[in-house]
């Protein structure tokens, strides 16, 4: 997905943009085509509704809609029954359109990591963290009597996340500290189900979950695969099960190596993450830890799904 960077002084704004060829831009030669696009930008509509709104003949509207759709400026998003027939509903593909004239020089030193910011869009607002990070308590706790050792891996994630923030304030909780009313916001949960009781609490809501009744193997409801290894982790981004208007990010493994693999996978391959398993509410990936330089520390991952 191409992005448009608006650099205004000490601030930058990134917008998704539709990249088109110069010849396609001719669809906007007509003022009526621009008016149709503006109407569809307000809300999805059919040709008949737009014709009434603009007081134009319906065939004229159909002509421009066909051209705009062929150019990719608008998309068919569904149908709706109207007077015994199905009306096609269209919407604008992108609020921004960019035209590439030729292959010119590009800037190497680009400050904004737009793909990463897009991924964390719900969790970061105006340079501030709009989420609570939940890590497992290092003390013996929970029904499994476990002690969390994922703190060091969580530091790597915090350092990565901090590169997108301009106002860093402590915004984390131990799993033993978080209260019910705090579960309704955006959540980033780190650690396995044994050591982080919040993971255990939401486990049955995850598309890729842990078999807590047996050996804590990772089970994918998407591929039907089972991963019993300690060095396998999951990266799940989905709607918060406690509040569907907010989001949940889970970085978890059966043990420490698996959790570290999930964090390394997110940090190094955030662009690749969005290209794999997808379901109606988000993204779910499975990664396996790799020690590339054989120094005993996980520094890379293999995507299993």
pLDDT tens digit sequence for 208-230: 999 999 999 999 999 999 999 99
Q: Classify strands 85-92 and 172-174 as parallel, antiparallel or unpaired.
A: unpaired
CA angle 191, 118, 182 (to 5 degrees): 45
SS3 239: strand
In 3D space, the residue among 20, 119, 130 whose CA is nearest the CA of residue 68 turns out to be: 20
pLDDT in tens, 89-125: 999 988 888 777 667 665 544 445 667 878 898 998 8
What's the pLDDT at 153? Answer: 82
**Which residue would you say has higher pLDDT here, 125 or 132?**
132
What's the pLDDT at 200? Answer: 93
Question: Which of 260-271 are b and which e, b meaning 16 or more Cβ less than 10 Å from the residue's Cβ?
Answer: bbbbbbbbebbe
pTM above 0.85, yes or no: no
Q: Classify strands 226-227 and 124-125 as parallel, antiparallel or unpaired.
A: unpaired
Nearest-angstrom CA–CA distance, 301 and 251? 14
* Lookup result for tokens 């509704």: 49
> What does the block give as tokens for 154?
């969580």
**Are 256 and 243 within 8 A, CB to CB?**
no
Domains and CATH numbers, the chain: 3-97 (1.10.10.10), 114-303 (3.30.379.10)
SS3 280: coil
Nearest-angstrom CA–CA distance, 64 and 36? 8
């Amino acid at each position: 997905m191409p992005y448009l960077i608006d650099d205004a002084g000490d601030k930058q704004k990134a917008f998704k943009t539709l990249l088109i060829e110069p010849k396609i831009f001719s669809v906007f030669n007509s003022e009526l085509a621009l008016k149709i696009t503006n109407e569809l930008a307000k809300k999805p509509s059919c040709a008949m509704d737009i014709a009434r709104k603009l007081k134009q003949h319906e065939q004229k509207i159909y002509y421009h809609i066909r051209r705009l759709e062929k150019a990719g400026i608008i998309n068919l998003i569904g149908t709706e029954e109207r007077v015994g027939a199905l009306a096609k509903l269209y919407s604008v593909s992108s609020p921004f359109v960019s035209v590439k004239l030729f292959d010119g020089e590009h800037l190497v030193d680009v400050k904004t990591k737009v793909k990463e910011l897009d991924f964390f869009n719900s969790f970061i607002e105006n340079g501030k963290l709009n989420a609570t990070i939940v890590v497992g308590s290092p003390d013996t706790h929970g029904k499994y009597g476990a002690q969390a050792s994922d703190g060091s891996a969580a530091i790597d994630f915090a350092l990565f996340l901090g590169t997108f923030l301009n106002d860093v304030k402590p915004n984390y909780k131990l799993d033993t500290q978080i209260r019910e009313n705090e579960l309704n916001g955006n959540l980033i949960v780190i650690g396995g189900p044994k050591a982080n009781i919040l993971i255990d609490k939401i486990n049955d809501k995850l598309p890729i979950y842990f078999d807590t009744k047996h050996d804590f193997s990772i089970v994918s409801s998407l591929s039907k695969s089972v991963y019993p290894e300690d060095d396998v982790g999951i990266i799940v981004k989905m709607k918060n099960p406690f509040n569907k208007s907010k989001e949940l990010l889970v970085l978890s493994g059966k043990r420490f190596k698996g959790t570290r693999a999930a964090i390394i996978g997110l940090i190094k391959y955030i662009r690749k993450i969005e290209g794999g398993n997808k379901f109606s509410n988000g993204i779910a990936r499975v990664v396996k830890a790799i020690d590339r330089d054989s120094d005993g520390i996980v520094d890379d991952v293999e995507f299993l799904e």
